[in-house]
Structure 1
Amino acid sequence: MSTEIKTQVVVLGAGPAGYSAAFRCADLGLETVIVERYSTLGVFV
């Protein structure tokens, strides 16, 4: 399965630093996508 997503920023990992960076980019008006392997954000599973 292949999906194409047009974005300006890709953040790999949604730990504390990743989601902080993603929110900041979004606040600046950048199209932002977070790629996370787990279904929960901000914690190590």
Structure 2
Amino acid sequence: ARIGRNPKSGAKVDVPAKRVPFFKAGKELRELVDHKEPGQE
């Protein structure tokens, strides 16, 4: 858990802990996304 803040009122709010999926792109995916055809920028 952590303490957040309401941007409208400035009041401190307890933010409950939550699980966040962690994703790291593999080498193949990065090459697929970064691949540039000749003449394209």
* Range of TM-score over shorter length: under 0.3
Task: Report which of the two structures shows the higher radius of gyration computed on alpha carbons.
Answer: 2
- Larger RCO (CA under 8 A, 6+ residues apart): 1
TM-score computed with the length of structure 2 as normaliser: 0.24
TM-score computed with the length of structure 1 as normaliser: 0.23
Whichever structure has more helix as a proportion of its residues is 1
